[in-house]
Amino acid sequence: DIQMTQSPSSLSASVGDRVTITCRASQGLSNSLAWYQQKPGKAPKLLVYVASRLESGVPSRFSGSGSGTDYTLTISSLQPEDFASYYCQQYYTIPWTFGQGTKVEIK
């Protein structure tokens, strides 16, 4: 299985901050990488797929980048509704696997 390692596991930030979350895969993914946002008690929500393509309806302050084994989710200006947990997922090889998550908390 492909192992997905996210960093950091948690971070504290203020409204308006630029936030970057990193995901590293145990092997190259050829951009087969998605990002999800999850709020407490809710199902995850798709934000980005193919490493950088924004899902319909997702605000443009979210962006994805990367290649090979290293990928990044950036929130350009953190908003109150963005405080949540974020997960990466590889879909290069079955079984699909997820990172362990990054919790974004209010500073």
Partner 1 sequence: QVQLQQSGPGLLKASQTLSLTCAISGDSVSSNSAAWSWIRQSPSRGLEWLGRTYYRSKWDSDYAPPVKSRITINPDTSKNQFSLQLNSVTPEDTAVYYCAREAYTSGGYYCGVDVWGQGTTVTVSS
**Residue 74 and residue 20 in contact, taking contact as beta carbons nearer than 8 Å:** yes
* CA dist., res. 53 & res. 11, Å (int): 24
CB atoms within 10 A of CB 107: 9
Q: What would the x/- binding string for partner 1 be over residues 77 to 106, using CB under 8 A?
A: ----------x-x-x--xxxxxxxx-----
Residue 43 found at the interface with partner 1 (CB under 8 A): yes
Structure tokens of 70?
Answer: 């290293």
Nearest 5°: CA angle at 73, between 69 and 74?
140
Token representation of residue 78: 């953190």
**Could you say which of 5, 22, 32, 52 contacts partner 1 (CB under 8 A)?**
32
Q: Is the dihedral of CA 75, 81, 87, 90 positive or negative?
A: negative
Q: Which of 23, 25, 29, 44 forms a contact with partner 1 (CB under 8 A)?
A: 44
46 near partner 1, judged by CB under 8 A = yes
Residue 17 beta carbon to partner 1: minimum distance, rounded to whole angstroms:
26
Least distance to partner 1 from the beta carbon of 75, Å? 18
**Identity of the residue, 41 or 80, whose beta carbon is nearer to partner 1 in the bound complex:** 41
Give me the residues that bind partner 1 (CB under 8 A), please. 1, 32, 34, 36, 43-46, 48-50, 55, 87, 89, 91, 94-101
